[in-house]
Amino acid sequence: MRCVSCSHPESKVIDSRPSDDGLSIRRRRECLKCGARFTTYERHNESALIVIKNDRSSEPFDRSKLLRGLLIATAKRDVPASRLEALIDDVEAEIRNTLRNEVRSKVLGDMVLERLRAIDDVAYIRFASVYKDFRNIDEFQAALKGMN
């Protein structure tokens, strides 16, 4: 594992334990050259999930892309990043439990919205406005009325 401080390619593991989510291994490492300590997470390499977009093109499921969208939707809201990570873990687990490696972007978006609504109403509307591509104020109002 390459050191994050000096880029030396060798380090030693000084502590290893399951992460809080139980889906990965957390390892504390120490660089053999500079002594810097850093944390890595190892996740079981599962089959890739593929997202089928509306135009029928496909792309690999990207947790970081989804997290970026959620962070934008929850900006200046009291929603910890760990809660968003848990939301993504839950969505990914549900998809994997279907034993399919493909999911339509609409289904993925609906799964995220369902969970986000339970976390924060404002973040839900922000995410929905991008995901559902609201084109005018009437669509915003319809979404707000649907929340009641």
- pLDDT tens for the 148 residues of the chain, in order: 888 899 999 999 999 988 776 678 889 999 999 999 999 888 766 678 899 998 999 999 999 999 999 999 999 999 999 999 999 999 998 988 887 889 999 999 999 999 999 999 999 888 888 877 777 788 777 777 777 6
Report which of 50, 78, 70, 81 is spatially closest to residue 124, judged by C-alpha positions: 70
Tokens of 114: 């369902």
pLDDT at residue 12, as a whole number: 94
Distance CA 91, CA 103 (A): 11
d(Cα 122, Cα 77) in Å, to the nearest integer? Answer: 8
How many beta carbons lie within 10 A of that of residue 112, not counting itself?
Answer: 23
Read off φ and ψ for residue 140, nearest 5 degrees: -60, -45
Are 63 and 92 in contact, with CB atoms under 8 Å apart? yes
CB contact at 8 A, 12 and 38: no
pLDDT of residue 9: 93
Compute the radius of gyration of the chain from its Cα atoms. 19
Q: pTM of the entire structure?
A: 0.64
